[in-house]
Amino acid sequence: MGAPSWRESSKVQPGGPGIRALGVSENEWRTIARDLAAGGGRLLGLWGDRDASGTSQIRAVLLSEHEALLLTLRLRDVDERYPGLEDLFPCASRLQRAVADLSGLHSTDPDLRPWLRHGAWPQLYRPLVDGAIAAPLDSQVDDYQFIRVEGDGVHEIPVGPVHAGIIEPGHFRISTVGEKVLKLEERLGYVHKGIEQRFTQLPIGEGHRLAARISGDSSVSYCWAYCQALEGISDVQITPRAAALRALCLEIERIANHLGDLGALGNDAGFAFGLAQFSRLKESLLRVTHDALGERYLMNAIAPGGTRVDLGAAGRVQLEACLREIAREALSLQRIYDEHAGLRDRFKGAGAVDAPLAARLGMIGLAGRASGQALDLRVDLPCEPYAKLAPVKCGRSEGDVAARVAVRFDELQESSRLIGRILAELPPGAHHVPVPLPPAEALGIGLIEGWRGPVLVALQAGEQGTIRRCHPHDPSWQNWPVIEHAIIGNIVPDFPLINKSFNLSYSGHDL
């Protein structure tokens, strides 16, 4: 890399470590993306916005080895099509379709189907560009063109969008012969909450509260990423104690989700004992978290400049004892899972995504690490205190349900170890510093390795402490399309198990 025409963007002050901002031309946009893709780089996010003059632009964050690049391509007019990236990064297709729905900016790639609109607003209305809708909403439901499989004996099974139980909506169109799955096509985005527009109505110092509520099981990840971006453009360095407390909250969030998933995966395979035991362990962690940090789920723990809460001596002792017990019992339960013939039969080989396919599709996060994709921002692009904590990457290469279960068990133990070290070495001092208003138009990027994978927040300041633009990105955008490949050749009853082994976010997708 390093073509002479690449130029550093002086108006961008990335908030996270190891992030470089580049303004690019159309040719450079494709050239850089192609070079990074050829070298194993990843597309972490893509979105549209406008600069202070009203000029539309497309932005993308790509990861190359131990550096992230923020690319900005300015468009001459709103009708100009920007070069699509789907052939280089397959996950770009849905991201580009979402940009078209929200900002009216279209790529040159062929799939022009709406992704988020669902007939919820007029076809030519652009929620992130236009004002309030003057005309009544178009209530006609879109005739979405699913890709159908033809042939003798082929049946379609529609699942959702409304599901049994308390989960958010998503539609799955399964084409089968008998019980063997030939194709799965997803359609998501049914709960468009208007989060990106809502950010622009909040003071920049309050946006972290909304960020923490984008996807409830990843509150710490999103809130930290938002605060990281804000602190970067405000030129604020948080204290060592604040950084340690943030890492503590993040690892608690990771363990709580892994405990819940391990129980649910056991239950989906007919092993209710696993659900009971892991539910018990998760409840004990949530209760101790409440006693030590004031909340069961840490939606309000992190704030710009550090943390809202501190950890006292009693809470420290409680957390140490609780995590030691959870780690010990999880080892025993792992042996039971490994030795249980019924679980082995359901987990082994189900929903397999081998390493070459995972690399081609751009899998990231926990699911990616189970398919030989060893990306973990805590190691590869660490913020404090992770450089000092030196986390160990957990991974497998088989890429099936069994591998995704094994990675959860391993990460549970590693996070318990990290928490033990954080508690033993918790620095003294303040846990919060004031954050001044950032300069108008400054753009910061926050990148945090949440429990699912990299969480990205792009935050651009407006005038006098307002938010011009805030774009949050969930790693589920990269991994939802992978499930369509993982299910092929499996049987229909294994779909819930395979889907749960990924456990991707609907809410983080339905912004």
DSSP structural state of residue 382 = P
Strands (E) across 401-466 are located at 443-449, 454-461
Pairwise CA distance, residues 25 & 74, whole Å: 8
Contact 58, 73 (CB under 8 A): yes
User: Going residue by residue through the chain (511 aa), what tens digit of pLDDT does each one get?
Assistant: 333 233 344 345 554 556 889 999 999 999 999 999 999 999 999 999 988 788 899 999 999 877 899 999 999 887 789 999 999 999 999 999 999 999 999 999 999 999 998 887 888 888 898 877 765 565 567 788 899 999 999 999 999 898 877 788 999 999 999 999 999 999 999 888 899 999 999 999 999 999 999 999 999 999 999 999 999 999 999 999 999 999 999 999 999 999 999 999 999 999 999 999 999 999 999 999 999 999 999 999 999 999 999 999 999 999 999 999 999 999 999 999 999 999 999 999 999 999 999 999 999 999 999 999 999 999 999 999 999 999 999 999 999 999 999 999 999 999 999 999 999 999 999 999 999 999 999 999 999 999 999 999 999 999 999 999 999 999 999 999 999 999 999 999 999 999 999 999 999 988 8
Q: Where, residue-wise, is CATH 1.10.645.10 in the chain?
A: 195-482
Topology given in CATH for the domain delimited by 195-482: Cytochrome-c3 Hydrogenase; chain B (1.10.645)
pLDDT of residue 130: 84
pLDDT the model gives residue 471: 97
Going by the DSSP 8-state scheme, the letter that residue 235 receives in this structure is T
pLDDT at 76: 85
User: How far is the C-alpha of 74 from the C-alpha of 66, rounded, in Å?
Assistant: 26
Secondary structure of residue 21 in the 3-state scheme: strand
Using only C-alpha atoms, the chain has a radius of gyration, in whole angstroms, of 22
C-alpha pair distances (Å), 220 with each of 19, 202, 295, 305:
21, 19, 12, 14
- State the architecture of 7-103 in CATH terms: 2-Layer Sandwich (3.30)
Cα–Cα dist 52/266, whole Å: 52
CATH 3.30.460.80 boundaries in the chain: 7-103
The pTM is what?
0.95
Query: Residue 280: its pLDDT value, please?
Result: 98
Cα–Cα distance between 94 and 19 in angstroms, integer?
24
For residue 3, what pLDDT is reported?
Answer: 31
* pLDDT in the model for residue 421: 97
Per-residue pLDDT, 160: 86
